[in-house]
């Protein structure tokens, strides 16, 4: 028996180094095939972050391994991959999501399986409020936060009659709801005279603009993006609606979309975005230089989100000293981490990051779209009160 016991000890000792060197696995799910203009730079961003941390020896003496899956912009596909990554691949953490409905599906999987999920891109408020849970943290500035940033500018405009154009799914609906709520709070005299809800990716720009202009608005709040945004802008330019009609637009200053608009970029739109070529902070300069060195191209907003997603995860693992998900949840609440936009943290009460966005106006330079008169809007200054969150977030999500 002593010999068998000794042999068992030797076997365990021999296996220990192998186990100690097993990688920390992060399961990453995103819309790589359906939204490549954003998700390809996003992927390059997280690849850079992983390469950098592994060059430093990894975390907890282990390398980081990311296993990526394509959800094709479909919640059921995302859920299928999440099940496979957690059950078969045994990932320690889940991350990603682009569309809000996909993010909500992944958040639901996270709470049911007690698996930490870092929602990198989904912007819906529901993911941290009405449908929030203790296992889901969100990186990007939410629809509420970006609406609050834009309302600061919209409230200064003389416009009283507003129209909205937004995709008819969770992101568009929550964006419009927040914008209306926040603008009316600052300007009780405004009214919303038209709401247009085109299906995502299927906008009929002509009929949308005809219905919008029939309501005789003084200004428009736009939430379309990607191909829908390009169609809307082109139709509006041809009808001579833009840039005469004042527009406040979410996300439209991001280089992913400006590169498509090119010389069709409507001047004067007030937008959230990313003027990458004009930011001179130390954090951003270092990130942009390293990104260009690796990929031979300049960063896009997706690049920043991918990089910052991994930076947040790494900081959480360091603080927890573990990949145990219960320890990680506690470590992530109130976690401070660095991003190319500067320092950020996850608020403990709703697990929303304070990473902000840039607010400015659209213009053209050399036949290309750009942002001018911009400022950085720190996310911590555009979050609601704790009382507001408690009224909307489930009590068990804050335990």
Q: Is residue 314 part of a domain?
A: yes
**Same domain for 267 and 348?**
no
Q: Compute the C-alpha angle 384/358/103, nearest 5°.
A: 60
Count other C-beta atoms under 10 Å from residue 218's C-beta.
Answer: 16
The boundaries of the domain holding residue 226 are 144-276+357-382
d(CA 147, CA 187): 14
Confidence (pLDDT) at 58 = 98
d(CA 287, CA 390): 36
**Same domain for 68 and 127?**
yes
Confidence (pLDDT) at 6 = 46
Q: Residue 119, SS3?
A: strand
**Same domain for 227 and 375?**
yes
**Same domain for 174 and 267?**
yes
**Same domain for 233 and 330?**
no
**Same domain for 347 and 375?**
no
**Same domain for 99 and 240?**
no
Q: Is residue 256 part of a domain?
A: yes
On whether the CB atoms of residues 142 and 177 are closer than 8 A, the answer is: no
**Same domain for 35 and 169?**
no
Q: Is residue 228 part of a domain?
A: yes
**Same domain for 99 and 207?**
no
Express each pLDDT in 194-220 by its tens digit: 999 999 999 999 999 999 999 999 999
Q: Is residue 18 part of a domain?
A: yes
Q: Is residue 91 part of a domain?
A: yes
Give the pTM: 0.93
**Same domain for 62 and 203?**
no
Q: Is residue 398 part of a domain?
A: no
Task: Give the residues of the chain that fall short of pLDDT 70.
Answer: 1-20
Strand locations in the chain, DSSP E? 24-30, 64-70, 93-96, 117-119, 136-138, 161-165, 191-196, 219-222, 247-253, 270-273, 336-339, 342-345, 357-365, 368-377
Helices and strands (H and E) in the chain: how many = 13, 14
Tokens 């400022």: give the residue.
375
Total number of domains in the chain: 2
**Same domain for 58 and 110?**
yes
What's the first-to-final CA gap in the chain, in angstroms?
49
Confidence (pLDDT) at 399 = 84
d(CA 172, CA 54): 38
Q: Is residue 62 part of a domain?
A: yes
Which domain CATH number covers 110?
Answer: 3.40.50.2300
Q: Is residue 397 part of a domain?
A: no
């Amino acid at each position: 028996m002593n010999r068998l016991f000794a042999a068992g000890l030797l076997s365990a000792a021999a296996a220990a180094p192998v186990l100690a060197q097993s990688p920390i696995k992060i399961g990453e799910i995103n819309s790589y095939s359906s939204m490549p203009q954003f998700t390809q730079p996003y992927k390059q961003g997280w690849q850079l972050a992983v390469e950098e941390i592994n060059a430093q020896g990894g975390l907890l003496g282990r390398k980081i391994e990311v296993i990526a899956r394509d959800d094709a912009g479909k919640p059921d596909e995302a859920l299928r991959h999440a099940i496979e990554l957690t059950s078969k691949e045994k990932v320690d953490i889940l991350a990603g999501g682009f569309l809000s409905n996909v993010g909500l599906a992944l958040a639901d999987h996270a709470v049911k399986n007690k698996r930490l999920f870092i929602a990198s891109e989904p912007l819906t408020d529901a993911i941290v409020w009405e449908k929030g849970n203790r296992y889901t943290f969100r990186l990007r500035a939410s629809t509420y936060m970006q609406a609050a940033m834009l309302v600061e500018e919209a409230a200064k405009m003389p416009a009283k009659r507003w129209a909205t154009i937004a995709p008819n799914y969770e992101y568009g609906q929550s964006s419009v709801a927040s914008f209306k709520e926040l603008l009316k709070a600052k300007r009780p005299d405004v009214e919303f005279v038209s709401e247009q809800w085109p299906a995502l990716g299927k906008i009929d720009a002509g009929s949308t603009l005809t219905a919008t202009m029939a309501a005789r608005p003084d200004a428009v709040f736009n939430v379309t993006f990607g191909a829908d945004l390009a169609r809307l802008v082109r139709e509006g330019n041809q009808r001579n609606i833009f840039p005469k009609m004042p527009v406040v637009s979410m996300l439209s200053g991001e280089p992913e979309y400006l590169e498509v608009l090119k010389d069709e970029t409507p001047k004067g739109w007030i937008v959230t975005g990313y003027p990458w070529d004009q930011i001179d902070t130390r954090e951003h300069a270092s990130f942009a230089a390293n990104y260009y060195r690796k990929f031979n191209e300049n960063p896009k907003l997706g690049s920043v989100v991918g990089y910052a997603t991994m930076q947040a995860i790494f900081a959480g693992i360091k603080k927890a000293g573990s990949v145990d998900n219960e320890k990680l949840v506690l470590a992530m609440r109130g976690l401070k981490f660095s991003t190319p936009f500067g320092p950020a943290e996850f608020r403990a009460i709703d697990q929303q990051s304070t990473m902000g966005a840039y607010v400015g106006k659209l213009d053209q330079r050399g036949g290309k779209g750009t942002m001018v008169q911009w400022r950085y809007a720190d996310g911590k200054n555009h979050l609601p009160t704790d009382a507001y969150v408690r009224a909307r977030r489930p009590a068990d999500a804050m335990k």
